[in-house]
Amino acid sequence: MDLKEIRAALDEGLKTLKELLDQQDKEIKQFGETTTETAKAIQKTEESLRGISEDLKAAQTRMDELEAKMNRLPQGDPESTKSFGQLFVESDAYKQMIAAGETKSKDYRVKSFFTKTTLTGASLGNVPGYLYTPERLAEIMRAPDRTMRVRDLIPVLTTGVGAIEFVRETGFTNMAATVGEAPAQGKPESGLSFEIVSISVKTIAHWLPATRQILADAPQLSSYIDQRLIYGLKLVEDEQILYGDGLGNNLQGILTDSKIQSYKWSDGKAGDNKVDAIRRAMTKARLAEYPVTGIVLHPNDWEDIELMKGTDGHYIWIRVSEGGQQRLWRVFVVDTPVIQEGDFLVGAFAMGTALWDREEAAIRVSDSHDQFFIKNMVAILAEERLAQTIYRPEAFVHGQFDSAPPADSGS
């Protein structure tokens, strides 16, 4: 296959892999684990992509070598090598301009002499000056992505407006009781109170500068930049879901909602460990009639739980040789650095909250920024608009691993 066919196969493979990973996420949410069929399909697709990657590497190397040969500078005496100015003066573009008595020439391109610096900025001091090298891997060595996200626990809906409004129950006085059949006897009156809540759509965005050449000459790298921009949005999104203060341009986060429940490890019974604290927090949600569907922990706190040992030295939670499902008390666990160490969140996520996508995350490219047009630069912008509605704050419990309960606490 030629390079175009290989890239087409790669795009198709990546599309298939994304669909399979989305399917896996749905299965995990619904069943707690992925199906064998989906797992095998993902493995098969990944193997196919590795093969395509090798083909792409070989084809790209051949193209680089051919381009280097076609555009290589003369290798004779250095003094005889012509400068850019000499080459331009001898070009047809310059001669035609002089003959016509004009002051503007046609483009004269010396493609192989362009400096292929991908991006601008002080943070890119280690980026090589030239994109093409004699031997270059087809893949980019990227930083690891965060695999588990808070968003995965929450229903995601779409909206076409700039604000979400809903009615939330704030109180219920239940006076139901048995009554006699005598006509004169009155019936007890119960009470309900409500509030109207309006949540506006917020914007999360960031951008990177890039050269026009990188978009034209390195589609793989261009796609990579797009992916990292989208990934950056998702990182901020998770932080906002938990800790957004609801002010200005921030979402209303779950942990900052003043109406959610709370629980401290130190409020438990003597001998309680972190697992006990989580279970007692789950009980608070359940007593409010909300069965817990998700737990969010910092990786360090999750490590403490997984490394718990009995008095005989054996691990309590897992068998080391096999590991274990990411569950605690039958509930799916998301361990993420987004939540602060020492904090944990349990809740009925499907019933208590939802995310609304006004505009799904998208990439746009423009040369309209400042003087980018005359600098052959473009701005690559990633942006999404969304809102978070917290319908039932009492469905969530903000837990804290402050300290183990004292020996004389409770009985």
In DSSP notation, 171-239 reads EEE---------TT------EEEEEEEEEE-EEEEEEEEEEHHHHHH-HHHHHHHHHHHHHHHHHHHHH
CATH level 3 topology of 150-176+190-400: Major capsid protein gp5 fold (3.30.2400)
Predicted pLDDT at 244: 93
Predicted pLDDT at 255: 95
Q: How far apart are CA 171 and CA 187, in angstroms?
A: 20
Q: How many CA atoms lie within 13 A of 5 on its CB side?
A: 4
Q: How far apart are CA 134 and CA 262, in angstroms?
A: 60
Q: Where are the domains of the chain?
A: 3-69+85-113, 150-176+190-400
Residue in this structure with the two tokens 């890239």, named with its chain if needed: 7
pLDDT mean for each 10 residues of the chain (411 residues) = 70 79 79 80 80 72 61 45 62 74 63 42 42 47 64 87 80 78 74 81 86 66 73 89 91 92 94 93 93 94 88 72 74 92 94 87 78 76 89 93 78 44
Predicted pLDDT at 104: 63
Q: Check if the beta carbon of residue 344 is closer than 8 Å to that of residue 333.
A: no
User: Which tokens in the block code for residue 121?
Assistant: 């900025």
Best CA proximity match to 264, nearest among 384, 167, 402: 402
User: Which tokens in the block code for residue 23?
Assistant: 């399917």
Q: How far apart are CA 281 and CA 279, in angstroms?
A: 5
